[in-house]
A and B are shown apart, each in its own frame.
Chain A
Amino acid sequence: NAGVTQTPKFQVLKTGQSMTLQCAQDMNHNSMYWYRQDPGMGLRLIYYSASEGTTDKGEVPNGYNVSRLNKREFSLRLESAAPSQTSVYFCASRRTGDGNQPQHFGDGTRLSIL
């Protein structure tokens, strides 16, 4: 059982390039999330999708777009990468129906923008 799969695991971009981070879950979860992790700041929510067909902004959405392609897949796009977007990106999913359900995380994508 793979859980939450993120691709790629590592990526180096030049300023201004675009890129899409992929995320897929096989747990039949309704809700999916994208976070970024920066040193000393914990994880911050970029965007989330409460259910298929819906997306909403989180705490730090500027410079990003998302697509909930289907129930399994939730992608994060950087249209014009900036050095400030150098970070580790985590995708997560969660079963709904009970607010107590934990989020399950992928292994992360380490993104460097030069």
Chain B
Amino acid sequence: AQKVTQAQTEISVVEKEDVTLDCVYETRDTTYYLFWYKQPPSGELVFLIRRNSFDEQNEISGRYSWNFQKSTSSFNFTITASQVVDSAVYFCALSENGPTDSWGKLQFGAGTQVVVTP
């Protein structure tokens, strides 16, 4: 069963609009970690943000913000005032706690393509 679901395949916006990316996850662990990665057209994967399961405080970092809600198993990510350079595929990922934290295996969603036009 897919543990990370990104239902939005592609989102197209005009520059300066806000973009919210949805992520729903599934886990039985009480301790887990959630991440967002960005993959620009050049292909590399860039770490953006992370959140522990025991910390539901939502934060803002520059133009990025995230909304973590354990009650709905969601970890949504928002880009405020989008720019053309934000055009990329964005991946949500889940890391579940194993017998030792050195596992750290990531389970990725299918990704959401964001297209920002001038």
A74 at the interface (CB under 8 A from B): no
- A104 is an interface residue with CB less than 8 A from chain B: yes
A43-B91 contact given A33-B105, A94-B104, A107-B44, CB 8 Å threshold: yes
Interface residues of B (CB under 8 A from A): 4, 31, 33, 35, 37, 43-45, 47, 50, 52, 91, 95, 97, 100-111
A102/B47 in contact, CB under 8 A = yes
Find the B residue at minimum CB distance from A58. B105
The minimal Cβ–Cβ distance linking B4 to chain A, given in whole angstroms, is 8
With a CB–CB cut-off of 8 A, which chain A residues contact B45?
43, 90, 92, 105, 108
Find the A residue at minimum CB distance from B110: A42
Does A101 sit at the interface, judged by CB under 8 A? yes
**Chain B residues within an 8 Å CB radius of A88:** 43
Q: Which of A95-114 contact B (CB under 8 A)?
A: 96-108
Whether A99 touches B47, Cβ cut-off 8 Å, given contacts A30-B102, A33-B105, A42-B111, is no
What's the interface size class on A, roughly? Answer: 20 to 34
Contact A45–B103 (Cβ < 8 Å)? no
> How far is it, in angstroms, between the C-alpha of A54 and the C-alpha of B40 when the chains are bound?
32
Asked whether B43 lies within 8 Å of A108 as measured between CB atoms, the reply is: yes
Instruction: Provide 23 A-B residue pairs closer than 8 Å at the C-beta atoms, listed in order of the A residue.
Output: A33-B106, A35-B106, A35-B108, A42-B4, A42-B91, A43-B108, A45-B107, A48-B105, A90-B45, A94-B104, A96-B101, A99-B104, A100-B33, A100-B50, A100-B52, A101-B104, A102-B35, A102-B50, A103-B47, A105-B44, A107-B43, A108-B43, A108-B44
Beyond A33-B106, A100-B33, A102-B47, 18 additional contacts (C-beta under 8 Å) are: A31-B102, A31-B103, A33-B105, A42-B108, A43-B108, A45-B106, A45-B107, A88-B43, A92-B45, A96-B101, A96-B102, A99-B52, A100-B50, A101-B104, A103-B47, A105-B37, A105-B44, A107-B43
